Amino acid sequence: MKFWFQRRSEALQVLAAWITGLVIICGIWLVSVLYLLEDARSVNSVRLAADRIRIHELEARRAEKDFELRALTDPDYFRSGLSPHLERHRRALDSLRQEIRRLSGAGSSQAIARATAVADAVDQYEKGFRGLVQACFERGYGGSGLEGTLGAARNDLEDWSQRQNDPAYDVALSRLGREEQAFLRDPGAENATRVVGAVGTLRRVSARRPDELEPELASHLAAYEDAFGRLRTNVERIGYDEELGLQGELRSAIHVLEPIVREILDEAVQNDERANRKLMIEVLATCCIMGALLAFAIFFAQAARLRNRSLIRVNQRMEEEHAKLLQAERLAAIGQTVTGLAHESRNAFQRTHACLDMLAEEVKDRPEALRLVGRIGDTQDHIHQLYEEVREYAGPVQVRRAPVSLSEVVRGAWDRLDQVRQSRTAHLTEESLAEASRLVCVVDAFALEQVFRNIFENALAACQDPVAIQVTYRESFLETRPAIQVSVADNGPGLGAEQRARIFEPFYTTKTRGTGLGMAIARRLVEAHGGTIEVGPREKGAEILVTVPRDLQGKL
């Protein structure tokens, strides 16, 4: 009995020692894990702040590009000085500075130094952007600002020239107008010199024919030269390209800002990966030493997975914002170019149309010449249509919703193609698998009419007579929102694999005439309504499926 109690006492001592050792090991493990978790949390907060800094920087750049594309060609901006793009830009910079303060509060001296550097770069960027905005506002657009003053001075010269009834003045003034327009399109030093030369030519014409109106001409020329000089100074201040003037200062600020932001993000990613590796090593080592801590290891691994999912979502959002910025830059380049071309070509198109009408009257007894005049007019209309399609694709989509029946929209689009169908044998049939009252949707009727008009034009171009187009309406859902799906099917040759994959890409077309923007514009208009447009599964002929929500709240 005594031996049993003695063995029992030893077993209790061993058990107590084992429990004590286990407690000590667990305490050391718990302290080390808590330390690593706190380090990972701190590193992760820096990583999230760096991700948000990058996102807000991209948002500010996107607002900057939208302002250059839309506000600088919007007369309302130059009348009020207000633009939603400037407000978006300001909010993005405020959010960016807030994230910089969070990064600075991370505690480490390195994080504080990085936050200070990026804050200084943001201040430099904002200063450059504000200076460029102010200079562009002073320059004006059309009839406002310095451009408006220059146009008013030129109008005074034109009024004076009309009273003289002198061809020499008209020629000199016409040259001045051409050189001025060339300068407004491309405000380089060479075009500015040509404007100055044209003003000198006008002065020399006046010197060869002195009369009582010369003082008035001198006054008008002085006013024009003063307006042009101020505009030229303003343009030089803005800069002819992104390397000069205020544009150059803004780009320099961006070149300083972006590397710092990328460096912060890369460093945060590396630190986050390093912290995660340390945590994983600790967990794995503990699991190998003591299987009893397996549940804790699983718990911490699950926490790490949740944290990584959050980072993946932030990275996906950052990539989406970057793609939107690249698209905005491409649309800005397209929109600026086409807007300038359309603006400068509008008057030329009008004059050409007037001349063609006069020419048609002169040759109305000559059928062959009259046919050629008609072909010239058709070609000119086609060029103007190309300008308008590209400008419409690059411009913003504004949806004005109202309750309307989709059947009326489709029928209106078909009726407006009557000239296209005039010499064709084409029939449209409609079938509704839903009640007539259920076809009423809160949409922009004009925008959707353009969508179906583009689809009908493609069908008419692809099909041989007789053309049979079948439109079918059926109720559907967009996620959980009630919607109406419109199927437009024709009896043409159908779509190939490449056409199915690229039909909605901008500038992709199989036609000899066209920009390839019709279906791309249709997709933008449908998506602006929160709907979808896609190629249907039909094998014979082509089928396009347009699905739009019935109203804004998902119920009618």
Quick: pLDDT tens for 157-176. Answer: 888 777 777 787 788 888 88
What sign does the dihedral 531-532-533-535 (CA atoms) show? negative
Pair 448, 494 in one domain = yes
Mean pLDDT of 385-402: 67
- Of 327, 344, 373, the residue that ends a domain is 327
Pair 96, 24 in one domain = yes
Burial class (CB in 10 A: 0-12, 13-18, 19+), 64: buried
Distance, CA of 510 to CA of 347 (rounded, Å): 32
- Paired sense of beta strands 426-432 and 467-478, if any: parallel
Pair 30, 123 in one domain = yes
Between residues 339 and 398, the one the model is more confident about? 398
What pLDDT is recorded for position 212? 45
Mean pLDDT of 425-452: 87
- Kind and range of the H or E run holding 293: none
Distance, CA of 109 to CA of 234 (rounded, Å): 44
- Of 198, 216, 238, the residue that ends a domain is 238
Mean pLDDT of 502-509: 77
Distance, CA of 118 to CA of 103 (rounded, Å): 10
Residues 174, 182 contacting (CB under 8 angstroms): no
Distance, CA of 103 to CA of 114 (rounded, Å): 8
CA angle 270, 276, 278 (to 5 degrees): 105
Pair 291, 358 in one domain = no
Residue 4 lies in a domain: no
What pLDDT is recorded for position 11? 52
Residue 43 lies in a domain: yes
Residue 353 lies in a domain: yes
Mean pLDDT of 552-556: 47
pTM over 0.85: no
Pair 298, 342 in one domain = no
Whose tokens are 């901008």? That residue is: 506
- Paired sense of beta strands 440-443 and 402-405, if any: antiparallel
- Residue 57 neighbours by CB under 8 Å, 6+ apart: 92, 96, 257, 258, 261
Output the DSSP codes for 4-58.
HHHHHHHHHHHHHHHHHHHHHHHHHHHHHHHHHHHHHHHHHHHHHHHHHHHHHHH
Distance, CA of 458 to CA of 503 (rounded, Å): 11
Burial class (CB in 10 A: 0-12, 13-18, 19+), 231: buried
Pair 257, 311 in one domain = yes
Pair 130, 275 in one domain = yes
Mean pLDDT of 180-205: 83
Task: Flag whether pLDDT at 4 surpasses 50.
Answer: no
Distance, CA of 326 to CA of 61 (rounded, Å): 10
Pair 453, 540 in one domain = yes
Residue 556 lies in a domain: no
Tokens for 89, please give them: 């830009």
State the residue range of the domain holding 194. Answer: 145-238
Scanning 105-144, the segments in alpha helix (DSSP H) are 109-139
Residue type, 318: M
Confidence of residue 53 (pLDDT cuts 50, 70, 90): confident
What pLDDT is recorded for position 329? 60
Residue 230 lies in a domain: yes
Residues 515, 466 contacting (CB under 8 angstroms): no
| Count of helix runs (H) and strand runs (E) in the chain | 15, 7
Distance, CA of 285 to CA of 297 (rounded, Å): 10
Between residues 510 and 331, the one the model is more confident about? 510
Task: Flag whether pLDDT at 196 surpasses 80.
Answer: yes
- Of 292, 307, 327, the residue that ends a domain is 327
Residue 200 lies in a domain: yes
Task: Flag whether pLDDT at 96 surpasses 60.
Answer: yes
What pLDDT is recorded for position 546? 94
Burial class (CB in 10 A: 0-12, 13-18, 19+), 496: exposed
Pair 232, 278 in one domain = no
Burial 531-543 (b: 16+ CB within 10 A, else e): bbbebbebeebbb
Domain count of the fold of the chain: 4
What pLDDT is recorded for position 455? 92
Distance, CA of 278 to CA of 464 (rounded, Å): 70
Between residues 499 and 555, the one the model is more confident about? 499
Report which of 335, 338, 357 is spatially closest to residue 346, judged by C-alpha positions.
338
pLDDT digits (tens, 9 = 90+) for 9-27: 555 665 676 677 777 877 7
Residue type, 13: Q
| Chain mean pLDDT for the chain | 77
Task: Flag whether pLDDT at 429 surpasses 80.
Answer: yes
Between residues 19 and 396, the one the model is more confident about? 19
Residue 287 lies in a domain: yes
Mean pLDDT of 523-539: 88
Pair 418, 359 in one domain = no
pLDDT digits (tens, 9 = 90+) for 228-263: 888 888 888 887 777 788 777 778 877 777 787 777
Tell me if residue 213 falls in helix, strand or coil: coil
DSSP 437: G
Query: Domain with 502 in it: what CATH number?
Result: 3.30.565.10
Pair 458, 496 in one domain = yes
Distance, CA of 497 to CA of 501 (rounded, Å): 6
Radius of gyration of the chain, Cα coordinates, nearest whole angstrom: 35
pLDDT digits (tens, 9 = 90+) for 211-224: 544 677 778 888 88
Residue 7 lies in a domain: no
What pLDDT is recorded for position 376? 81
Whose tokens are 């030329």? That residue is: 348
Confidence of residue 549 (pLDDT cuts 50, 70, 90): very high
Pair 258, 126 in one domain = yes
Burial class (CB in 10 A: 0-12, 13-18, 19+), 306: exposed
Tell me if residue 464 falls in helix, strand or coil: coil
pLDDT digits (tens, 9 = 90+) for 354-367: 787 787 777 778 88
What pLDDT is recorded for position 505? 80
Between residues 425 and 350, the one the model is more confident about? 425
Confidence of residue 554 (pLDDT cuts 50, 70, 90): very low
Tokens for 346, please give them: 């509008």
